[in-house]
Structure formats: structure tokens, C-alpha cells
Amino acid sequence: MIWRQRLALAGVIVIAAILAFPMRSWVTDMIVLPLAYLLWLLHLIYLSLGQAVWWAVIILVVVIMLFKSLAPEIKPIRGRAEYTREDRGSVEALASMLRKSKKGIYFKWLVANRLGKLTYQMLLRREHGRPRSVFAPLIMDGWEPPAEIRHYLEKGLHGSFAEFPVPRWFAQPKKTPLDHNVEEVVEFLEAQQSDGH
């Protein structure tokens, strides 16, 4: 994929080199001369105004900045409803993350992280309060998920989305453990929850 980018860059350079000589008079007439005229005009305006005018402009700008920073905030007009963000529950937040998971690896990791934490809590309940490290593998007697599901949950709980860099332009994204089917993971967790442990 890098050779494609280099080839495109080389093509742009070649086209620019071919067009540079015939278009130099056009660039001079349309860009260089108007810009030089504008700078010359601004220089004349600067010289024609006295120092007192420039000092007055500077003082006016400083006064306006001071007034804006020291003046109390203008209160909103009454009758206009203020926007208040509603607190979302954990299920609603997870559903929102699931919808956004198609947008990138960060949201996929958020879903995996939430499910990994849920799995950790389920294992804590099964061990009846015995201490368990959050970094311990997510297995125990009577709890042996398929390898892909266990890898997905552990990547979510112990890993980070930064382990999976964003692919370069035009590059096919590589499959990661976070691309596992979330429905299978949820079905497995539901089956384990319904066992009554």
C-alpha cells in the first residue's frame, strides 16, 4: 500500500513540474501581482495614518477585550428551555456503544470492556466472595468459555484499543479479537447466568 502512495505523490510532482513552466505567466498575473499590489496598498495606508490613530486602535481593542472578560455572563432569555442531558442506564449506554462500534476500534473495545467487567463480576459471585485478581484469566471450574469468546473478553478487560492501530488510507483493516460476534458472547453469558450459579 505504501508504493501506491509513493506512486501518487510522484505523479503529482511530475504533473506540477510539467505545468510549472507554461503557467508561470498566469501565476504571475493572477496571484503574484495582485498580492504585491495589496501589500503595497496596506503599506501606504499604514504610512498615511499617524501614530496617534494606531495607539487609539490598540487601546480600543484592549478595552473591548477587558470588558468581555470582566463583564458578567449574559443570562439566557426566560422561556427558552435549557438543554439537560438525561442520565442513561447501563443497558442504554451499552446499546449506544453497540451502535457506534461500527465506527471504529475504540467503540468495539468499549463494548468488550463492559462485557469483560460483567464476566469478572459473575466469576466473583461464583467464588462466593473469595478474592480474585482482575488480571486473572477469566476461567474457573464450571466456567470454560470457547477460546475465541475468552480471548475477546480478556482483551476487553485487560487490553486497550491502542493495541490495534488505525489502518492507513486505502489499507484493508486487519481482523482483531474485538471483531468477534458480540451476540455469541452475550448468549454465552446469558446461558451461564441462567445456570443458577
Q: Over its length of 197 residues, how does the chain's per-residue pLDDT go in tens digits?
A: 577 778 888 888 888 778 777 777 877 888 888 899 999 988 888 888 778 888 888 999 999 988 887 765 555 555 555 545 555 555 556 666 666 666 677 778 888 888 888 888 888 888 776 777 777 777 777 777 888 888 888 888 888 777 776 666 666 667 777 777 888 888 888 887 766 55
State the cell numbers at 100.
Answer: 457506534
Q: Which of 125, 192, 193, 122 is nearest to 157 (CA)?
A: 122
CA distance 123 to 151: 16
Alpha-carbon torsion angle 48, 50, 54, 57, nearest 10: -90
What are the E-state strand segments in 1-105? none
CA distance 75 to 45: 41
CA distance 75 to 57: 30
CA distance 110 to 71: 43
CA distance 35 to 57: 25
Name the pTM for this structure. Answer: 0.48
